[in-house]
Amino acid sequence: MFPYKKSRYSLDVVFPNKMYGGVYGLGPLIIYNLVNQRKDWHCERVFSDHGKISSPLVGFSLQYELDLPKALALKPKKGFTFAGGPVAELYPEIAAKHFDFLILGDIEAVLPEVLDAYEEGEEGFLERIENIQGVYVSGGKLSRAVLKQIDDAPYPLVQPYPPLTNEKYVFGKGFILEIERGCPFTCYFCAIPQFYEKKVKFHSLDYLKKVVDEGLKINNAEKIIIYAPSFVHPQRKELLRYLLGKKIRVSIPSIKAEHMDKETLSLMKACGQESLTIAPECGERLRFAINKKVKDEDYFRFAEDCSAAGIGKLKLYLMIGLPGMEEEDLKEMVDFVKALQTHFKGKLYLSINYFVPKPGTLFADEGFDKKKLKEQAKFVEKELRAFRVKMPALSTSYKEWLLLKKAFS
């Protein structure tokens, strides 16, 4: 751990949500490590329910649209503030109105230069950084920083947790292991490909082995949390075998069912994985229409392989209100879920969300019909009552849509 030291410079990185979710944020951890490794610098993480902003340089990690108003409520009146994360990437013009500057792209390629400039003094600071690749000051030139080789970046090895945790800390005291950055898929409703330029960077297996070894020495970790949007790393099996040899539990939050095979699933089970999460989104016809080209039979095969591997739970992410979704599509989605259960020996858990169109995607101009969504929700809840279904409040999704509409009208 980084010892506290009296420092000439300090930076607070703020995750504008509860600590039990924020401790798993990779972006704040990267900043925390980069800053604390520098001479004469000190960094603390601050959450909406823990810690206090006290530094003259403050960064905000904006993961979700509704984080923006929360961040603004926490933003100090004095000092320099900046923001990064998916919301800043997707809505730079909007975010830049509320902060002195944004950091866009791979932060490891930007932050050291920004800190160098800050050390030269606060006077003229913004002018000195506005031409750095990946720094955006409102009204300036928009650019993103890109690491050519992700292995060249220092890894955030120090990952502290509070002394006491509870069941809200869903991944426990885990060491976050980022194995890939970006997503190779182009689902029409998803905004991620925009700021990753549809490219994926993979850490090498040797790099990951070294990170695991050092990370487990430094942190009192109970498990390894695989950080990967898709878990399509070309050497994922070799990595799982290595982790199995370390006798440490592994948690893989999200996977692509069509890229899994029996061997991979068996390795995951051997590493302690009891449940898996996939995102079919809807029935097959509409799934292909939104450019998620995975057939029902691929999910059925995956479910059978999970059963054979001893996986006891599957969580499905589904959506209602998708563009073009009518009663036939709802019935097809319901039939798909019921059919999937016949191929799986364990329990299915359903997370059904309302579709909220994202700016910059193919569906950016879609509306939000509350009446229609309420009817669709009532239908699927009735038809899928035999399953454990979790749905957000319609008002929360509507609030998110209104925020986006207001920002881009």
Pairing of strands 101-103, 135-136: antiparallel
pLDDT at res. 366: 87
Pairing of strands 249-251, 223-227: parallel
CATH number attached to the domain at 274-409: 3.30.750.200
Round to whole Å and give the CA distance between 370 and 376. Answer: 10
Residues of the chain with pLDDT under 50: none
pLDDT at res. 2: 64
Structure tokens at 161: 């947790």
Structure tokens at 57: 């340089």
pLDDT at res. 182: 87
pLDDT digits (tens, 9 = 90+) for 71-117: 999 999 999 999 999 999 988 998 999 999 999 999 999 999 999 99
**pTM of the predicted structure, to 2 decimals:** 0.92
pLDDT at res. 216: 96
Contacts of 167 (CB under 8 A, 6+ apart): none
Does domain 9-136 correspond to CATH entry 3.30.379?
no
pLDDT digits (tens, 9 = 90+) for 192-227: 666 665 578 999 999 999 999 999 999 989 999 999
Q: Confirm if 309 and 265 have CB atoms less than 8 A apart.
A: yes
Domain ranges of the chain: 9-136, 274-409
Which residue type is seen at 369? D
> b vs e for 206-244, b when ≥16 Cβ sit within 10 Å of the residue's Cβ?
ebbbebbeebeeebebebbbbbbbbbbbebbeebbeebe
Round to whole Å and give the CA distance between 13 and 75. Answer: 11
